[in-house]
Amino acid sequence: MKITVVGGGYVGLTTGVCFAHLGHQVLIVEKIPQKVELLKSGKSPIYEPGLEELMQKNMKEGRLFFTTDLREGLEFSDVIFICVGTPQRPDGSADLSQVEEVARETAKLMKSYKLLIEKSTVPVNTHKLIKKTVQRYLKDPSIPYDVASNPEFLREGSAIEDFLNPDRIVVGIESERAKSIFEELYKDFKCPIIYTDPATSELIKHASNSFLAMKISFINMVADLCEKVGADVKLVADGMGYDKRIGRHFLNAGIGYGGSCFPKDVKAFIKMAEDYGLNFGILREVERINQERPVKFVEKVKNILWSVKEKKIGVWGLAFKPNTDDIREAPSIKIVDLLIKEGAYLSLYDPKAMENFKMLFPEGKQVKYAKDPYIAAEGASALLILTEWDEFMKVDLKRVKELMELPILVDGRNIFEPKEVKSLGFEYYAIGR
């Protein structure tokens, strides 16, 4: 099939590359010219394992193209995936201006049938606004079109794997014509495909993200309780997770969820419910608990060291999760900020996210960037783990201990086994265990 993807960000690029990998012809429309130049030269603007290689392969094999021109995108195909950003407004609601722009400009240029598909996370009933906009701007009101919802569930860091092997595919449609296009598009996927109306489909995505965020805040509160009573949150999560109704995934306690999705989506879900006269109080608590996590973590560090003022502290991990260079809403930002305010001297290390972090925290008296995890630990009074990169699980902890001034390890992601690190002579603090 021929597919047009509007938006060359995380979701758009992964969607385009993966559809090309499945044998389709894909044109990605991205309005930032520099980004298109970069993409055309075979470079991915984001770090995502395997993405750049797969992109280059499909470009070489003539299935993946890029342009800045929406008109070209509409001439290329009848199937248009809308993958533009839906950033957060100050009141927490989603800013849908980019979605509106795509709908409007598409309508103006449309000469024949198009299927417009929302892939970005949007508030329920956004499809109605897209339809209204298309209808308003269509040059010829008799041109047929469909608007569908087909949310993406991929995670950063495992985007390709998630796209190609989803747990389910959700499709919200209103016509048989649209349905048959999706049937063709997803015919090789083995997972359940759920066909519903667009509003239900939009809600499935938003509610799923909110629910996963709720699991994380829930286990984080359990972790705090574990610390008070001397229990182990990892084992509590294991014990709970064996119950199929609960499941073990997303029950890892830590310093809170970050990224471009959960914080924004939870806020937008609360706001959306409010707009319909409902108080989704449970999600307000989810958000409050999450916002508290970095603050509590810094309190913990302060309690351990008594004072952090003018002490050197090593930090491993800045990305909001492993296998990405993304630091959007990463708990590390708040933690680093609070520690700087407390007068600490920080030596930061992350395998991929340091360049992005430098834009927020340039190198200076209190902030240094280390070339490797060992340099970050050198002379430190404590070492903090903020992202669970594989690399950190493989370091030579004996060497780390020798390099540090005090062998204090504060593990915000529970990557080590307390007994093992303690037996190496570390003073070890984890989350909820």
Q: Which residues are catalytic?
A: 261
137 binds ligand UGA per the rule CB under 6 A: no
Nearest distance from C-beta of residue 15 to ligand UGA, angstroms: 11
In terms of CB distance, is 322 or 407 closer to ligand UGA? Answer: 322
Q: What crossing angle do the helices spanning 262-275 and 281-305 adopt, rounded to 10°?
A: 150
| Cross-sheet strand order for the sheet of 2-6 | 64-67, 25-29, 2-6, 79-82, 114-118, 145-149, 169-172, 193-196
**Residues whose CB is less than 8 angstroms from the CB of residue 302 and which lie 6 or more positions away in sequence, other chains included:** 308, 342
Pick the closer one to ligand UGA by CB: 67 or 324: 324
Could you tell me the smallest distance in angstroms from the CB atom of residue 85 to ligand UGA? 11
Measured from the CB atom, the residue of 9 and 73 that comes closer to ligand UGA is 9
Least Å distance, CB 90 to ligand UGA, is 21
Dihedral pair phi/psi, residue 81, rounded to 5°: -90, 125
Decide: is 126 part of the binding site for ligand UGA (CB under 6 A): no
Verify binding: residue 251, ligand UGA, rule CB under 6 A: yes
Residue 121 engages ligand UGA in binding (rule: CB under 6 A): yes
The nearer residue to ligand UGA, 373 or 432, going by C-beta atoms, is: 432
Question: Which of 216, 286, 404, 415 is close enough to bind ligand UGA by CB under 6 A?
Answer: 216
Q: Whose CA is closest to 148, among 190, 103, 112?
A: 103
CB of 281 to ligand UGA, least distance (A): 21
Question: Which of the ranges 44-52, 148-156, 296-304, 421-429 carries the binding residues for ligand UGA, by CB under 6 A?
Answer: 148-156
Stretch that binds ligand UGA, among 51-59, 246-254, 335-343, 358-366 (CB under 6 A): 246-254
Binding footprint of ligand UGA, residue count (CB under 6 A): 20
* Cα(319)–Cα(357) distance, integer angstroms: 8
Among 138, 212, 273, 395, binds ligand UGA (CB under 6 A): 212
Count of Cβ atoms closer than 10 Å to residue 94 Cβ: 24
Tell me whether residue 312 or residue 334 sits nearer to ligand UGA (CB atom).
334
Give 149 or 252: the residue with its C-beta nearer to ligand UGA: 252
**Could you give the string, one character per residue 259-298, with x where binding to ligand UGA holds by CB under 6 A and - elsewhere?**
x-xx------------------------------------
In angstroms, give the least distance from the CB of 123 to ligand UGA. 13
Q: Binding of ligand UGA at residue 211 (CB under 6 A)?
A: no
Q: Which residues contact ligand UGA (rule: CB under 6 A)? A: 121, 152-156, 209, 212, 216, 250-252, 254, 257-259, 261-262, 320-321
